[in-house]
Amino acid sequence: MSKRERISPVDTAWLRMDRPTNLMMIVGVMIFAGPMDYARLRRTLEARLLGYRRFRQKVVHDATGAWWEDDADFDLDRHLHHMALPAGDHKTELQNMAADLLSAPLDPNRPLWSFHLVDNYDGGSALVVRIHHCIADGIALIGVMLSLTDPKADAAERPAPPPEMGGADDGPDDFFWNRVFEPVTQGMISAINFGTQAWLKYFELLTHPGQVLDYSRQGAGMAAELANLLIMPSDSQTRYKGKPGGTKAVAWTEPMPLDEIKAVGKALGCSVNDLLLSAVAGALRAYLVEQGDPIEGVEVRAMVPVNMRSRADEGKLGNRFGLVTLLLPVFMDNPFERVFEVRRRMAALKGSYQPVVALGVLAATGLAPKFVQDIALDILANKASAVMTNVPGPQQPLYLAGARLAQQMFWVPQSGDIGMGVSILSYNGSVQFGLVTDRHFVADPERIVARFRPEFEKLVYALLLEPWEELRTPAEIEQSLEAELGVGACAPARKPRKPRAPRRKAAAPAAETPIIAPPAAAAEPPSQAD
């Protein structure tokens, strides 16, 4: 009989989250500057990817739950596909192909992943990667993908990794019970008797979230954060929100120089994240204006993953992340006011218990009946319009199967009825934006991504036009905005007038931290990134 491992509660939750309109796959597109040899790629996957057991295991179910089981009939050729794009604009055709694959489920009777190698893409090759989220989160999968690459084209083909690199979890329940469930239960959930009526009580709390306040008074921190999550109002009703149809559309930008973004952030006293998120908010606003939609008071909430891996989790698969909720001030037209407001909101999330509470909820629903999971996650998903990720990648060129990686982007799945995903990924001195939308909401995401760079360049142009003889610090810029707008530069209340462009002065660089925070020590509460 094949070896079996029980799937952890968190991974079970991701496994059961698939819907026809939203499939729980992490999808990546990698573009290579030269042609890739299919045979060498196949050898690379066989030697390196299959060293991780999860990529040779399928999911099986019995009366006790879901299990990982070795696929006795595993065949790499069922997962690695070789194809060419139809005639036409290559970028458009590759985006259409990626969108089709985003909407097509993986074979549930096989290991839940696939690679599609595309020949003759603008003189090189492209690779579309699909991996089910139940296998691992984005941080872990970036590690997996990096393990397939080399620092130079003529690197020796490495042998298969040793068995200890198989990517096993630290016991299917250890992470959940020791680091998530136990601290959460010390607050609100510890007041509930998890006996035969446990999930009825949990269901009652989900459907009557006001009652959570009674329990939160018995604890603090995490319990209060859970209450806040459950009673949080929905974000603004826009065309980005509704019932998805299940057909996807994707688009991505050309890479932007990271040094240029850092220089502007230094001048304004903001992080790279603040600038990029502000550009996203501006692009979403501009698209709504173009469509003739109202933007007064509009805020778009994004669910943002936060890495919760410790050093002990390095090299392991599975899901180890929580979530924070970020309201993007889409109603703000002035780019300076908007970026300072984004900075303020991100700073307010530092030290939040939201990530561990969100992971605890996800794990708890993985232990509950599926109908309870669906209700719980719908309640959370309905409060947001997007999922947004920002992941730092390697800052030197990499090679896969001898081909140089020129661009890469990826999208995490959108749960429930969420129909939009934004990804930001840095690589080799550049930043890449990607956008996936449900066509029922936005049929032309390229019109949104085309505005990311112009929104950032509004800040660049204002700074470049400043006279250099009179320079100001970031603090002086904010004081000027407060005086000219009549409100605090970070206040979201009133519609701003156009301020004078700020004058630059050298300042200490802001701390650069990705939205997905770096691993923290297991004994410390996870910190939220800038």
pLDDT in tens, 194-214: 333 443 444 444 444 444 444
Residue 94 reports pLDDT greater than 60: yes
Residue 524 reports pLDDT greater than 50: no
Q: What's residue 89's pLDDT? A: 81
Q: Which of 360-369, 455-464, 494-503 has the highest mean pLDDT?
A: 455-464
Residue 265 reports pLDDT greater than 80: yes
Q: What's residue 181's pLDDT? A: 46
Q: What's residue 486's pLDDT? A: 52
327 confidence band (pLDDT: 50, 70, 90)? very high
Place of tokens 């990546």: 28
Q: Are 322 and 358 in contact (CB under 8 A)?
A: yes
Q: What's residue 361's pLDDT? A: 72
Residue 93 phi/psi, 5-degree rounding, is -65, -35
CA distance 465 to 294: 32
514 confidence band (pLDDT: 50, 70, 90)? very low
Full-model pTM: 0.79
167 CB contacts (<8 Å, ≥6 apart)? Answer: 52, 53, 54, 136, 140, 144, 315, 316, 317
356 confidence band (pLDDT: 50, 70, 90)? low
Residue 392 reports pLDDT greater than 70: yes
CA distance 139 to 145: 10
CA distance 357 to 337: 31
Q: What's residue 435's pLDDT? A: 95
Residue 172 reports pLDDT greater than 50: no
Q: Of 108-112, 381-385, 443-447, give the lowest mean pLDDT range.
A: 381-385
Residue 180 reports pLDDT greater than 60: no
Q: What's residue 484's pLDDT? A: 54
235 confidence band (pLDDT: 50, 70, 90)? confident
Q: What's residue 315's pLDDT? A: 76
Give the dihedral sign, CA 360/366/367/368: positive
Residue 513 reports pLDDT greater than 60: no
500 confidence band (pLDDT: 50, 70, 90)? very low
224 confidence band (pLDDT: 50, 70, 90)? low
- 11, 5, 14: which is closest to 416 by C-alpha? 14
Beta strands in 334-419 (DSSP E): 386-392, 399-400, 403-411
CA distance 521 to 530: 18
Distance of CA 327 to the CA centre of its chain: 15
Pick the more confident residue, 25 or 202: 25
Residue 526 reports pLDDT greater than 60: no
Q: Are 145 and 123 in contact (CB under 8 A)?
A: no
Q: Which CATH superfamily is domain 4-159 in?
A: Chloramphenicol acetyltransferase-like domain (3.30.559.10)
Residue 236 reports pLDDT greater than 80: yes
Q: What's residue 211's pLDDT? A: 43
Q: Are 291 and 247 in contact (CB under 8 A)?
A: no
Q: What's residue 492's pLDDT? A: 42
User: Tens of pLDDT along 113-162?
Assistant: 999 999 989 889 999 999 999 999 888 898 899 999 999 988 888 765 54
What proportions of the chain, in percent to the nearest 5, are helix, strand and coil? 35, 20, 40
200 CB contacts (<8 Å, ≥6 apart)? Answer: none
CA distance 279 to 449: 10
Q: In 74-197, which residue ranges form alpha helices assigned H by DSSP?
A: 90-102, 138-147, 174-175, 182-185
Domain segments of the chain: what residues?
Answer: 4-159, 186-230
2 confidence band (pLDDT: 50, 70, 90)? low
CA distance 82 to 101: 14
Give the dihedral sign, CA 119/121/124/130: negative
Q: What's residue 369's pLDDT? A: 78
Q: What's residue 87's pLDDT? A: 75
Q: What's residue 204's pLDDT? A: 46
229 confidence band (pLDDT: 50, 70, 90)? low
395 CB contacts (<8 Å, ≥6 apart)? Answer: 258, 426, 427, 428, 429
73 confidence band (pLDDT: 50, 70, 90)? very high
Q: What's residue 482's pLDDT? A: 59
Q: Of 83-87, 218-222, 395-399, give the lowest mean pLDDT range.
A: 218-222
Considering just the CA atoms, what is the radius of gyration of the chain in Å?
23
CA distance 476 to 224: 37
Instruction: Tell me how many degrees the CA angle 49-50-55 measures, rounded to the nearest 5.
Output: 95
Pick the more confident residue, 274 or 193: 274
Q: Are 383 and 415 in contact (CB under 8 A)?
A: no
Element holding 248 (H helix, E strand): strand 248-252
Q: What's residue 476's pLDDT? A: 60
Residue at 499: amino acid letter = P
Q: Of 120-129, 192-201, 335-344, 453-462, give the lowest mean pLDDT range.
A: 192-201
Q: What's residue 480's pLDDT? A: 61
